[in-house]
Chain A
Amino acid sequence: MHRRWLGVLLGLLLLLTSVAALADLTVVWGEDRDDLATLDPRITQSRHELQVIRQVFDSLITLDDAGNPVPWLAESWDVAADYTSITFHLKPGILFHDGTPCNADAFKFTYDSIADPATGSQAAIDYLGPYKGTVVHDDLTFTVEYTRPYGAMISGFVLTYLAPVSPTAVQANGDAWFAENPVGTGPFKFVEWVRRSHITLVKNTEYNWAPANALHNGPAYIDTLGFKFIKENSTRAAALETGEIHVGDLMDPLDVMAFEGDDDFDVFLGRVGGVPVTLYLNTSRFPTNDRAVRQAIFHALDLETIVDNVFFGYLKAATGVLASSTFCYWPGGDGYYPYDPAKAEAILEEAGWVDTNGNGIRDKFGQELSIYCPIIFKATLMTAVQAELRKVGIDLNVENVTKARQDELIMNNEYEAGLVRWVATDPSVLGILMHTDNIPAPGYFKFNWQHYSSSVIDRLLAEAESATSPDERCSIYATLQELVYDLALMVPLQETTQTVVYASNLTGLRWEVGNYQAIFYDVQLAD
């Protein structure tokens, strides 16, 4: 009898608390991935995890809308003239969510632990660069030192990866605990993470160290920020429609179209920085070793029409090795090889590619102009590309494979073309795709899929990394981009786009420059 009454009481209590929770201002983000692995910025490499981590952790510096660095946790910073160190001056009074001070020692701890192989960092360690160590001068001043000149240091410190973690929390509970119970300095505090279901954050009432480009200072406006994992596109759209979530991430273009005509919803399209969806052509194998073939592919594709048709006008054709929103994007790629199928055919004829057996595919030396292209995404786009190339006598043999199979084909050099895209804010991403050291080999999965080894490209990449002014860097990267365009090592197809739909009564949503991750700090919800 006793127990039954206890149950009723508990039920009532639960009802009351859920009513109370409703009264709070809650915003829920519908996330398209449900298998987040860690919320530790030092360990993550996933943009889906960063979307949550960004709200809980702050960076030293951030970028304003024009891409210029502005203060956040750091009041100011001085880069050494020879680019071998950087000294930060922190804002006073910054606290972690566990109440401990975020001082110079905390940064030293964070960076030292990222550099420690035992931590198993998946991305932060690379963005930390050639790290030598951190020297603490006083509570608010420290210097990060490098083993060699490192021109791209600022672009690392604006990223969430290098955000400070609470040393007390990590040391007391260990990395595995911290991955599930992140403690940062951000505008939202971590509450709970129900794996494969949702994450709940609440506002940090102590917060008064907002970045210089935020719309306000002090605590966030909303009380609770939820992340609900909804993998299925149509379910995410349904939940948005019923108001169970307020923001839907990575919406299907068809759903975007439906929401666009609805006054209750707004659509945001963010052109993501980095490397667009690009077809990389293997120069070490027949027939893509022929520059004429590679250039003909460019001329044969009416990309604007293809991308427009396939994605209902929501996505944009790519016009460069780098996405158009990336720092140091070289605009010369736009129109470098204009759409001209007649020219494509002329180039192929001149290079000796003729259809001798009348099967519609050109051939040379008795071998067909057939290009094997294993892919793991963008099947619809690639079908359209395949159809266009067929018109000029090129057979693009697209096969949908698993990630594991693709990696195996790439490492064993058993492909003529492959599809790559990269989300990044800095042009240094080109090194990953262009440097001779990054040619894949058995056992080594790397990203120079064009298998192009060039001492000129390697030298340009090295010069760009140690360049001492932004203008100098960009001029080196421009030379590089023009060079690879001329060689036609790859065909950029479509710009990666963040397609977000959100309730129109939600205001103040800001987007991080480059990767277009949502920042909820300034968000308000009207009735």
Chain B
Amino acid sequence: MLQYLGRRLVGIIPVLLIVMTLAFAVIRLIPGDPVRNIIGGQPVSQQVMDNLRAYFNLDEPVYKQYFGFMRNAFVGDFGISYRNRQPVTKVFFQQLPATLQLAAGGILVGILVGGLLGIVSGLFPDSWLDTSFMFLALIGVSMPTFYSAMLLILVFSVILRWIPVVGGGFMGLILPSISSGLWAAGNLARLIRSAILDVMNEDYIRTARAKGLIERRVVLGHAARNASIPVLTLMGLQLALFFGGAAITETVFARQGIGKLLVDSVLEKDYPIVQFGILFTTSAYVFINLAIDMLYAFIDPRIRYD
């Protein structure tokens, strides 16, 4: 097990190196001049342009910029943002807490709502409850985030005045969590329902019932545990998705977050931010996947890594 973990960790290194190289190359392949974007279309003299190019080392040949980037990244220096002139890691980690809060909120909404709808639907297939819950789940997966976000603001903020539109703290997290968690909830509900339906027909469920277990123990102890493997996979992907930020939710609710930061940085050709952002989100995917793989072994003792 530990050996396997070690092998996986070593395997991550080339992945990250390749991703860094790709990130460096791709952002430079998009046409446009970063210095032009810093100026933002204002009229400036050639002198201003030259000064800025030198300031950000953009006057160096590309191969020099590349080796400089890789060498500095190795010691944790990812350069300064073209737009903010602040260290990239500082700019990025300023936005990260808001993203993590929204990720937690969204996943929580996803698990609570999706779990409830999915388990009930799975246990009572083809009932009216199942039909209406699956209809709700369908709405969850199909409604665009910007639309659900605006509806939530209209109902809970403007009409009912329960929750501030752009408030901070816990109150400010409620509507964005619902809005971004709806999609996860819909997906989870559908997946959990089918997983439970599959599991409930297995032999070991019949055995569990035959040995006289009460239904609650059958469902929670046997069915839920076995149904959780595909659910866990989906939740891992979902969580990694949240780590990349939720640009639309962040925009509509005027929240901080790395989603908007990355979108803006790509448009503004803020190379250092984009490079670090891609590295960070890739790492999030890689490590969350690894963690989920490890969790499999705990949930299902039959899964062994040698």
Contacts and interface: CB of A to CB of B under 8 A. Distances in A.
A239 B154 CA distance: 10
B256 A195 contact: yes
B85 A195 contact: no
Interface in B156-205: 157-158, 161, 164-168
Given A402-B267, A407-B33, A120 B165 contact: no
B177 to A, nearest CB: 16
Interface string B30-62: 111100111111111111101110110000000
Given A194-B256, A404-B30, A404-B32, A176 B86 contact: yes
A277 B50 CA distance: 29
Interface in A381-411: 402-405, 407-408
Nearest to B55: A120
Interface string B77-94: 000100111100001001
A432 B157 CA distance: 46
A496 B254 CA distance: 25
B97 to A, nearest CB: 11
A242 B95 CA distance: 26
B243 interface: no
A180 B86 contact: yes
B158 A403 contact: no
B254 A235 contact: yes
A349 interface: no
A179 interface: yes
Nearest to B253: A235
Contacts of A194: 94, 256
B131 interface: no
Interface stretch (A121-129, A133-141, A310-318, A332-340): A121-129
B136 interface: no
A239 to B, nearest CB: 4
Interface residues of B, number: 55
Contacts of A407: 31-33, 36
Given A45-B39, A120-B52, A244 B167 contact: yes
B42 A45 contact: yes
Interface string A228-243: 1111101100110110
A120 B51 contact: yes
A445 interface: yes
A38 B158 contact: no
A45 B44 contact: yes
B37 A126 contact: no
Interface string B6-40: 00000000000000000000000011110011111
A7 interface: no
B166 A235 contact: yes
B252 A232 contact: yes
A121 B48 contact: yes
A405 B85 contact: no
A117 B91 CA distance: 24
A148 interface: no
Contacts of B39: 45, 122
A482 interface: no
A364 interface: no
B84 A122 contact: no
Given A239-B165, A408-B32, A38 B85 contact: yes
18 contacts: A35-B264, A38-B84, A38-B85, A117-B51, A118-B51, A121-B48, A122-B44, A194-B94, A195-B84, A196-B94, A196-B256, A197-B168, A231-B254, A232-B252, A238-B153, A239-B166, A403-B37, A404-B33
Interface of A: 34-35, 37-38, 43, 45-46, 117-118, 120-123, 125-126, 175-176, 179-180, 194-197, 228-232, 234-235, 238-239, 241-242, 244-245, 402-405, 407-408, 422, 429, 432, 444-445, 447
